[in-house]
Homo-oligomer: A and B are copies of this chain.
């Protein structure tokens, strides 16, 4: 049962011992928490997950960053470097179904909580690890952060303008992208375990995870024999016109609309010409086929930009979308945050946090049975010490008080 959850969860009864911090690990265990697993985040009593103070809003408060990646979890503060603390965590590991960690290379083994040690305590555990680089890689011991993985995993090489340097995409694929793939493997292992009782060791490197998300670029490389190129806002593989962002009124930094006409459906181009008032060009041999439009890309772009620049982006998107032309306004994060549509549909949900107040945030975006899943607040540091030590280990209030007095929790 997730913290404070009234509804039935999909992973009811699944206990996750969460030794993760920052984002790659926390995004993974948070996905399990959205689905109803009981995720107990073990944190250093001195400040906890460093994500609590990353990009902090107000002094003394947990950061929005932390809240976003730790919804629906419980927090247990334990000093892992004290013998009693370590013994507690080992006891918890005996009772856990899943353990997830993303410490720096070698750290979990130095703590005495490496796979072999934990498997001895609990042969049926699903033990999942995130590292920057894979076991056996020449960079196996290297430190990684999201952007290091995005560079080394090939993603930056295909992001940017054709004549500009490699850029970092705004998405944190090295972190959250990794977390999502690991969650899939954990869920697969849990499914088998439900029948067989078997545990499993799972390992995912952030560099390797990136490859999963850029496979279209590998298709391009297989086709051309060349490295995939940066191509601005246009497609990586094969020239298609129109495809790209077109400027809109009133010309702000995100006043653009993406317009595309599928290679597979010639009707898109004709619909586009009609809606922009250029039905006169239907049948024009310069534009009638995919090949012809690719050859006249600059003219195609000018024709479309002439129309988009006379419209605001949302209006342009509405007009195009309504007649079956694929179109997307370039929304910025403030527009998305403030658009009531997302809250109405449950894609944004309000986390009611006891210290930080109400926080409207992107929820797990999948609708289950017609609505998205409820959100409980990210935990305060050590908020669930008593509850978890009692539920999982049967400790009495007096025993917990002694652990606190001894500085263990």
Residues B200 and A233 in contact, CB atoms below 8 Å apart: no
Residues B154 and A331 in contact, CB atoms below 8 Å apart: yes
The quantity of this chain's copies bound in the complex is 2
What number of A residues sit within 8 Å (CB to CB) of B? 153
A102 CB to nearest B CB, Å: 14
Contacts of A215 in B (CB 8 A): 68-69, 172, 176, 361-362
A381 CB to nearest B CB, Å: 17
For window 215-254 of A, CB contacts with B under 8 Å fall at 215-223, 225-238, 243, 245, 247, 253-254
Residues A173 and B171 in contact, CB atoms below 8 Å apart: yes
Per-position contact with B for A42-73: 1 when CB-CB < 8 Å, else 0?
00000000100011010000011100110000
Q: Given A227-B332, A369-B200, is A185 in contact with B137 using a C-beta cutoff of 8 Å?
A: no
Which of A168, A190, A210, A317 has the most chain B CB atoms closer than 10 A to its own CB? A168
Q: Identify 13 residue pairs between A and B in the complex whose beta-carbon atoms are under 8 Å apart, listed by A's number.
A: A55-B219, A57-B222, A68-B215, A142-B327, A147-B233, A150-B258, A151-B245, A151-B257, A156-B245, A171-B210, A184-B366, A191-B194, A211-B336
Instruction: Report Cα–Cα, A14/B220, bound state, in Å.
Output: 33
Instruction: Report Cα–Cα, A263/B50, bound state, in Å.
Output: 11
Residues B337 and A234 in contact, CB atoms below 8 Å apart: no
Residues B177 and A213 in contact, CB atoms below 8 Å apart: yes
A236 CB to nearest B CB, Å: 6
For window 170-199 of A, CB contacts with B under 8 Å fall at 170-173, 176-177, 180-185, 187-192, 194-195
